[in-house]
Structures are given as structure tokens and as C-alpha cells.
């Protein structure tokens, strides 16, 4: 029996390491690594090509010496500012019926642009903290927005990642610093009312919930000792792993609803239990931490394989990157 040809398309400039973890998952489930493809080559203006080939899509990347027609495409670890350039590829994948959980460009855009995420949440009744959009506003407008939000809010760019560009705003000094930061970069930003998401010991905390389809496959609680620092693991927050049955039902319900609202088939949802449960954001391609190869990456790749098994036409010829499976490693 042959294995499907799997292309793992990612951006090598990213430092998150998700593609390496996903490659391990592919190897575990199929007995062979995927074909690694540089996403920059297939983006708008890139030197690679993606063209229809029968019922599939032929990917040609001269710099990597690649010419293949994959059965499955895993598109992951694409920095937010480079996602828009991959929209034509996403549309081709969809049009040609290639098995992928990459979703379409509209879903990616709705989750990547946080102003659009907030619009979706309002439309679909997803609980979230009150949020206002500021477009390089004058100081008076920013101050009025902070006053409306109770004088305690979080500023973040419309498009960002990692929390390096997020500010806890509690007065004129921090508001001015945030406004100047975004003005220098000529970007729109958001102010969201603080959720008061503290543990009994006074640490900040929130939850990252991994949603695949209509179910939660894994979750973690992030505990941040610094109350003015985002609860990102890359900002020093400590992750505490949670099995799906141990997650409060309200948070499970919210995470799935938020994912559906953006149109993503897979996402990492950030939310807090305070205020009855509120969603902060939906991550298109959430990063993995230690221990999430088996709890997140493997289920994610398995979903691709299951979709391929359901859709593979009877009597189809052997894949172009055939290799023998190794069931003992599953």
C-alpha cells in the first residue's frame, strides 16, 4: 500500500518551529517525512508555480528542485504579514480539490486582521471584551476611547503576532507610548477593555484552546506573573496543559463557536473564564510548545489523512512521492 504525497508548505523565516513538529507528525503517521516547500516561492511574485494538473495541483519550485503533484497540502507557519500573498494558492487548492486544512483566504483574513475578527464576533454573538478601532487617531480620540473603556485596556495592532507589539494601557503615559509606537509604523490598532483575568494569587491567566473541526483536541492555561505583560508563552507565560474533558464546558463551547465564526477548520483560541467567558482572539496557525506533538500536531495531520482517505478516487494511480508506510510508528 502506498502513502499519499504530502507537501508541507511553510515559511523558513519563521522561528516558531511548527513546521518541524508537523514534519515529525507526518513521519510518525506515514513512515516518511513530507516534501518541504518554501511558501515564499509560491506566493504572489514568487519564482515557483502552482498550476492545475488534472484533479490536482502541480507545484514547481526551481530553487528547491521540486516538481510534484501532492495529494495533501499542509500549509502552516506563515507569518501574518505574508498570508495575503498566498491567497491565489489557497484559491487554487480549493478549486482543484486538493486535501488541505489551509482554509480559504477569507477565513485567514478574518482571523489575521483582529478588527475583522471583532466584527465577526459581534455578528455571531461571540462573547468578548468591548473593543474600539483606532486608525492613527489624534491623541484626543485615543484618550476618549480609553476613558470609554474604563481607563484600563490593552492596545494591540490590527495585524500582529507574539505580543511584542501589545501594551497594557492604564493612563496617559502608556497610551501615548502605544499610540506613538503604532503611528511610527503607520498601522491601525485596537483598544480592548481589560478582562481582569487574574488568578487567586494575582497572576494574569488565560486559556489557549486548540479546536479541530467541531471539537477541542487540546488546551492549556497560560499563567503570567507580570500583570502588564501579555499571556503569551513567548513573553514568559507558563503553560499548564489541560486535557479536553477537564476544560470548563463554557470555554469549550466558546472556543468552538469562535472558530466557526471565523470560518477556520483548525485554530488556537485565546480566551478567559472571567465575565462568564470571553474570547480574545483566534489564531490561524497556533504555535506548539513542548508535549504538543502528540496532542495537537498528530491529530491535525491525521485529519488531513482521514480527509484524503474519504476523497481518494477508486483506482487512482500511485502518488508521485510514494513511500512504504510504517504502521509500527503510528
CB neighbour burial string for 5-19, b if at least 16 within 10 angstroms, e if fewer: bbbbbbbeebebebb
Which residues of the chain register pLDDT less than 70? 1, 137-138, 313-330
Is-contact 42 61, C-beta < 8 A?
A: yes
Buried/exposed code over 251-290 (b: 16+ C-beta within 10 A; e: otherwise): bbebbbbbbbbbbbbbbbbbbbbeeebbbbbbbbbbbbee
CA-based nearest residue to 87, from 110, 64, 63: 110
Joined grid coordinates for residue 157: 495592532
Query: What are the helix and strand counts (H, E) for the chain?
Result: 10, 15
Q: Which residue intervals of 168-217 are DSSP H helices?
A: 172-185
pLDDT at 162: 77
Between CA 207 and CA 242 the distance in angstroms is: 9
The pLDDT score that the predictor gives to residue 135 is 83
- As given in the structure block, the three cell numbers for residue 270 are 485565546
User: pLDDT, tens digit, for every residue of 48-91?
Assistant: 999 999 989 999 999 999 999 999 999 999 999 999 999 999 99
pTM of the model: 0.92
pLDDT for 137: 65
Please calculate the CA angle 262-263-265 and round it to the nearest 5 degrees. Answer: 120
Residue 160: all three cell numbers together: 500582529
Segment 32-42, tens digit of pLDDT: 999 999 999 99
Q: What CA–CA distances, in Å, run from 65 to 9, 61, 88, 181, 222?
A: 15, 6, 22, 42, 42
pLDDT in the model for residue 55: 87
The pLDDT value recorded for residue 321 is 57
Amino acid at each position: 500500500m502506498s502513502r499519499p504525497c504530502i507537501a508541507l508548505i511553510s515559511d523558513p523565516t519563521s522561528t516558531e518551529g511548527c513546521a518541524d513538529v508537523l514534519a515529525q507528525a507526518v513521519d510518525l503517521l506515514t513512515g516518511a517525512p513530507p516534501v518541504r516547500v518554501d511558501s515564499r516561492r509560491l506566493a504572489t511574485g514568487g519564482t515557483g508555480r502552482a498550476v492545475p494538473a488534472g484533479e490536482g495541483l502541480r507545484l514547481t519550485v526551481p530553487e528547491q528542485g521540486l516538481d510534484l503533484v501532492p495529494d495533501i497540502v499542509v500549509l502552516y507557519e506563515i507569518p501574518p504579514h505574508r498570508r495575503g500573498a498566498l491567497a491565489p494558492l489557497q484559491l487554487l487548492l480549493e478549486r482543484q480539490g486538493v486535501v488541505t486544512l489551509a482554509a480559504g483566504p477569507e477565513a485567514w483574513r478574518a482571523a489575521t486582521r483582529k478588527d475583522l475578527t471583532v466584527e465577526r464576533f459581534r455578528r455571531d454573538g461571540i462573547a468578548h471584551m468591548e473593543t474600539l478601532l483606532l486608525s492613527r487617531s489624534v491623541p484626543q480620540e485615543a484618550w476618549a476611547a480609553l476613558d470609554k473603556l474604563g481607563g484600563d485596556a490593552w492596545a494591540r495592532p490590527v495585524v500582529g503576532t507574539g505580543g511584542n507589539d501589545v501594551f497594557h494601557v492604564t493612563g496617559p503615559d502608556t497610551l501615548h507610548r502605544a499610540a506613538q509606537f503604532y503611528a511610527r509604523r503607520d498601522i491601525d490598532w485596537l483598544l480592548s477593555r481589560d478582562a481582569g483575568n487574574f488568578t487567586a494569587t494575582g497572576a494574569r491567566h488565560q486559556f489557549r484552546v486548540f479546536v479541530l473541526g467541531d471539537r477541542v483536541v487540546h488546551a492549556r492555561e497560560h499563567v503570567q506573573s507580570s500583570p502588564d505583560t501579555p499571556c503569551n508563552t513567548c513573553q514568559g507565560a507558563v503553560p499548564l496543559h489541560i486535557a479536553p474533558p477537564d476544560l470548563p464546558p463554557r470555554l469549550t463551547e466558546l472556543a468552538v463557536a469562535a472558530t466557526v465564526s471565523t470560518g477556520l477548520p483548525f485554530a488556537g483560541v485565546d480566551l478567559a473564564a472571567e465575565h462568564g467567558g470571553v474570547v480574545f482572539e483566534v489564531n490561524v496557525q497556533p504555535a506548539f510548545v513542548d508535549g504538543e506533538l502528540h496532542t495537537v500536531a498528530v491529530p491535525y495531520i491525521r485529519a488531513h489523512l482521514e480527509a484524503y482517505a474519504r476523497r481518494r478516487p477508486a483506482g487512482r494511480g500511485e502518488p508521485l512521492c510514494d513511500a512504504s508506510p510504517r504502521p509500527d510508528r503510528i
